[in-house]
Structures are given as C-alpha cells and as structure tokens.
Amino acid sequence: MVQHAGSRAFRNATVQRMTIAVVCSYTVSLVNFRYRLLAAMVENGHEVVAFGPEDDAPTIEALAAIGVRFVQIPMARAGLNPLEDLRTLAALYRELRRLSPDLILCYTMKPIVYGLIAARLAGIKQRHALVTGLGYVFSGDETNPRLPHTRRLATWLYRIALRGNGRVFVYNQADADDILAGRMVRDPARILAVPGSGVDLQRYPASGVPEGPPVFLMVTRLLREKGAREFVEAARRLRPRHPQTRFQILGPLDPGPLAIPRDEIDRWVADGAIEYLGETADVRPYLAASTVFVLPSYYREGLPRSILEALATGRAVITADMPGCRDAIVEGENGFLVPPRDPEALAAAMQRFIDDPTLAKTMGRCSLEIARQRFDVEAVNRILLTEMELVPSTLD
C-alpha cells in the first residue's frame, strides 16, 4: 500500500548538516513553487544548491537572498532528443561530482531521470524524487501513433532513474498507481503521497468575492491539454445569454509543440469570446478580482498549484474530473468537476454560478477552509523535510 503523509511515527531527534542539491527543469519554478521549501532547508542549517536550465536573474537573486546558490545546467524542457539529453546527463554528473552533495531532490521528469541517474553515477547515496505529475506522456491523445512508444520509453527511463532511490513523493493516488503498474518502483513503501506543493496562506490571503456580474478566470500555460479551447467554447455558449459575464485567461504562451498559437488567441479576443490578460509574475490581483476559478485541464496534473492558490483566495473552482485536478475539490461543496474535453458540461457548471449569485461565496468559504486544513505550505514542507530526515523530529 502506498503511504500517505503522517504514516511514519518515529525519527531521530537530531540531524546532521547536509549539502543538498535540488534539480528542476524550469528555473523560475524554484521561486514560484519551491521557495519556502528551499528556505526551510536553509533555516534548518543545510547548504542548498539549486540547478536549473535558465539564467533567470530575478530568480537567482531571490535564491541568493535566502542563502541558496544557483548552478545553470543545459536542459531542454520538452522533447526527447538523445544528444541534448546526454549533454544534460553529462553536465549534471560533472557538477554533482564537483559539489559532492549528501542528498539530491529532483522534480519533474527530466530532472528525475537525468538528475538521479547522474547522482547514482556520482555516488550520491540519498536520492529522492518529487513527481509533480506524470504529464502528457501518460494522458495524451491515444490516437497519436507515437504516444505508446514515447510512454514505453518514459517508463523505462523512470525505472532506471528510480532504482535504488529513497523516497518517491507523489501528489495523487493515480500517479502512484501508474508508477507501480509500470514497475517504475517495485516497493510501494517507497512511495509517499503528499498534498501537492502546498500554498503559502500568507502570500495568498483570502479576499471576498466581488459584487457584480461573474468573472470566470482561467490561469494556465497556454497548452492544448490545459483546456483553454474548451473554456473558450463554453464562453461562446454563454455570452449570447449573459453578455455582462466575463471570461478571462491569464498565463504565458508556451514554446513547446503542444502550445496554442498566439494568432488563435488573438482570434478569441477579436470575436469577443474571452479576455486574454497576458502573463504576470503575480496572480493575486486577478484572483481577487475573479468570481470563480476554472481549470478544465486534461493534462496529467500532479495537483495544480493554481487551484491551491484559488482555494487560499477563497474561490470556488470548476475543474476537470482528472487525476490531480479533482484532488482538491469536494464535489458540490467547494466546486464542480466536469468531464474532460466537454465544453457543454463546462458551460453548464458556469451557468450554475450565473443563476445563483450566492453560490460562489458559499463555495469560496469552503475552499478557504480546505486550503487551511489540507494545503498549508508549511505543513507540506514539514512532511517532505521529515521524510528526507532534514529536520529533527521524534514524533510526526
């Protein structure tokens, strides 16, 4: 049986100071998603070195401010180019041999695969993986003739990388089940389910649902599988009857092959279906100005951070009934689950909030309570640090 957080009872009362390597595939994520975790490692007396592919100055400065050193490594976020991936593996091996850390934590697929293989070759004994979602390879269009081959290759790479590792942290049971079914990990006791990346309740304070016509907000990278086209189609169904209702998309364009092209987004805006708000470094004002948060994603999410931020803000959520997305929703209490790729069902869920202006407020209060009870980032990080034996604790 896969363990869930809190299932272990006793730990050593003291820990030794360690050098920790943290490897990611997107440098900005070190601050956007791991800032409090990295800070907690430093606060507990450890030396932390973060590895990422982009030389992003604001991120590097933010990391330096909490005592985390940054090392740039070559890594293509998408695709399986053997030469590029070998270059990544070689670079990670060289840097890890030079640093000789006591422990390594890798998150997302490429860092897990190449970071952990490099770590094993470099002789690092304590190796942990944080599976933030299995992604498109494990949830994509089954009619794509290349997908089964890519999935088999990804499964094989995971098996090699996770062999002999310590903890494999997952965000949802479906990912744990697929990891075991694919024999990526053979011992279920090594897998621990944690409640996502958590959300900083102080950084994302609750705010009241604004008065006036409803505003449906979707925050996402503009990938096909995130459900933006379904969101637009649902908006087109509703706008003729409810012209004052607003439908907004906030998030960056993506350079990958699964991206929605900019000219298509421009057409959505031109025909009045949605408002495209562009990209931002701070989603809080947009969440505060929204009525309901929407994420009809059929991408294989871990547990979307954007949903957790919406819960903390006190917003009802409409999302797809998919692994990860559904894990923060109590159907009918803090939001609604709709079938993936179903704009008609999505429009029907939105219609319920239009028909009943009190629903968003009632569900929003429930979302806030769920965020406080289950997804506080400090509690989530405590689980990770305890399981990796980076904090002193005698009783979980």
The pair of three-digit structure tokens given for residue 198, joined into one six-digit string: 């958590």
Whichever domain contains 157, its CATH number is: 3.40.50.2000
Say how many domains are in the chain.
2
50 and 186 co-located in one domain = yes
State pLDDT tens for residues 100-122.
999 999 999 999 999 999 999 99
pLDDT, one tens digit per residue, over 36-76 is 999 999 999 999 999 999 999 999 999 999 999 999 999 98
pLDDT value for 393: 63
Look at residue 7 in the predicted model and tell me its pLDDT: 45
Q: Are 136 and 55 members of one domain?
A: yes
Whole-number Å distance between alpha carbons of 315 and 54: 33
Task: Transcribe 224-247 into DSSP letters.
Answer: GGGTHHHHHHHHHHHTTT-TT-EE
pLDDT computed for residue 11 by the predictor: 44
Rounded Cα distance, 146 and 137, in Å: 10
Residue 59 inside a domain? The answer is yes
pLDDT of 135 higher than 60: yes
Structure confidence at residue 119 (pLDDT): 98
Joined together, the tokens standing for residue 229 give 């086209």
Contact 387, 189 (CB under 8 A): no
In a domain, 355, yes or no: yes
Q: What is the mean pLDDT of the chain?
A: 92
The answer to whether 365 touches 329, Cβ cutoff 8 Å, is no
pLDDT above 90 coverage of the chain, percent: 85
pLDDT at 351: 98
- Which range marks the domain in which residue 361 is found? 215-374
Q: What is the DSSP letter of 259?
A: B
Q: What is the mean pLDDT of residues 82-94?
A: 95
pTM of the entire predicted model: 0.89
Whether the per-residue pLDDT at 234 is higher than 50: the answer is: yes
Q: Is residue 201 part of a domain?
A: no
Higher pLDDT, 12 or 287: 287
Q: Is residue 210 part of a domain?
A: no
* 274 and 342 housed in the same domain: yes
Give the residue from 153, 187, 195 showing the smallest Cα distance to 168: 187
**Is position 272 within any domain?**
yes
Do 252 and 365 fall into the same domain? yes
Neighbours of 65 (CB within 10 A): 9
